[in-house]
Amino acid sequence: MTTRQHGFRPVTRRGLLAAGAALPLCGILSRRGYAAQFSYKLATGQDPTHPINIRDQEAINRIQAASGGRLEIKLFPANQLGSDTDLLSQVRNGGVELFNLATSILATFVPVAGIVNTGFAFPDYATVWKAMDGALGQHIRAQINKSGIVSVSRMMDNGFRQITTSTKVIATPADLHGLKLRVPPAPMLTSLFQAFGAGPAPINFNEVYSALQTKVVEGQENPLAIIATARLYEVQKFCSMTSHVWDGYLILGNRGAWTALPKDLQDIVMREFDHSAEDQRADIAKLSVSLQKDLTAKGLVFNEPDKAAFRAALAKTSFYGEWKKKYGAEAWGLLEASTGKLV
């Protein structure tokens, strides 16, 4: 499936940059005319025009310049090298050196990463970044680094997830009952929608469009930037702005490939990806404002449900108590230090 971004001029203008980065760039030479000392691949699941790829490519360009050509990184967007779950295996075994992955999928390997997806935990971005740039984010990255892979960037922004359907408006918690809904292969999101009585179906992202088109599922849930760049509005009719979960991205590294880099190159990589993380966060903030208008023009019908009603309905289930038990007192305490009490 080929997708294009619409309605966000900075992304569109630079889309070719990221798209071109998907092509193998063999034989790139350093300023002195010698081949790069290290040649790594960075895989992502997003469309080439998504801000994650544009900002990753900018970081790659700065890394090559700052390293004097010693480190060459080639960007492979849109699941070119495999599905998200395939790529998670590849970054673990060294098939790819770097992989930009959503925390919701990372949770299948590093469970605590999924705590950021706790349903209706984050009311706004101020609360999100307080947690992600603070003690909770540090705790998650420390657990990643203990797992056999490494975290090499600050948290980037996937955005608040919204529900789209082809069949009905989701206005109340009861509207979710029995809904066949695609979710990523992520335990937290499966659990969340089961608590509401929906029928969540874990499907890799590269299969979402066809699953919606063929009515395998009625709906899906993703941030607006994904709904736009993946053109999901072509196979969906309604969008409910539930903001039920916030999701982030982290750039993960294969441990062997990371430790092979000299310290000065590691510092350059982390500095430039952190720089791009700040830029990418700003991109998503702008898109959150502009995309609802753009997607409305493309035929998607929006509604604003009462989020407090969803949160209250969720609190009546065992959802929060079960996840608190799974994550443990330390991680849950770090979450509630930013969000307030959830249980």
Q: What is the mean pLDDT of residues 245-254?
A: 98
- β-strand pairing of 238-254 with 149-151: antiparallel
Tell me which residue has tokens 């990184």.
73
Q: Answer yes or no: is 228 within a domain.
A: yes
Residue 247, in any domain of the structure: yes
Residue 69 lies inside a defined structural domain of this protein: yes
Strand 199-202 relative to strand 180-183, pairing: parallel
Cβ neighbours of residue 95 closer than 8 Å, sequence gap 6 or more: 81, 89
What is the CATH number for 189? 3.40.190.170
Q: Tell me which of 20 and 315 has the higher pLDDT.
A: 315
Predicted pLDDT of residue 34:
63
Determine, yes or no, domain membership for 206: yes
Query: Is the pLDDT score of 27 beyond 80?
Result: no
Read off the tokens for 212.
């919606």
- Please say if the pLDDT value at position 147 is more than 90: yes
**What single DSSP character describes residue 29?**
B
| Interval 186-205: pLDDT, tens | 999 999 999 999 999 999 99
Q: Is the pLDDT of residue 31 over 90?
A: no
pLDDT > 80? residue 26: no
Distance between CA 53 and CA 285 in Å, rounded?
16
Give domain status of residue 3, yes or no. no
Contact between residue 123 and residue 160 where contact means Cβ atoms under 8 Å apart? no
Locate 125 and state its tokens. 């971005």
Three-state secondary structure call for residue 149: strand
What integer best gives the mean pLDDT of the chain?
91
- Is position 1 within any domain? no
Tell me what the mean pLDDT of segment 31-55 comes to: 89
How would residue 326 be classed by pLDDT, with cut points 50, 70 and 90? very high
Number of folded domains in the chain? 1
Least confident of 19-33, 182-196, 317-331: 19-33
Tell me which of 20-24, 119-123, 330-334 is least confident.
20-24
In-domain check, residue 210? yes
Confidence band of 214 (pLDDT split at 50, 70, 90): very high
Q: Is residue 63 within 8 Å of 216, Cβ to Cβ? A: no
Structural domain harbouring 271: 9-339
Specify the pLDDT at position 25. 39
Task: State the pLDDT at residue 336.
Answer: 97
Kindly state the average pLDDT of the residues 75-86.
97
Q: Are 208 and 182 in contact, with CB atoms under 8 Å apart?
A: yes
**Residue % of the chain over a pLDDT of 90:** 89
**DSSP helix/strand/coil, 59:** helix
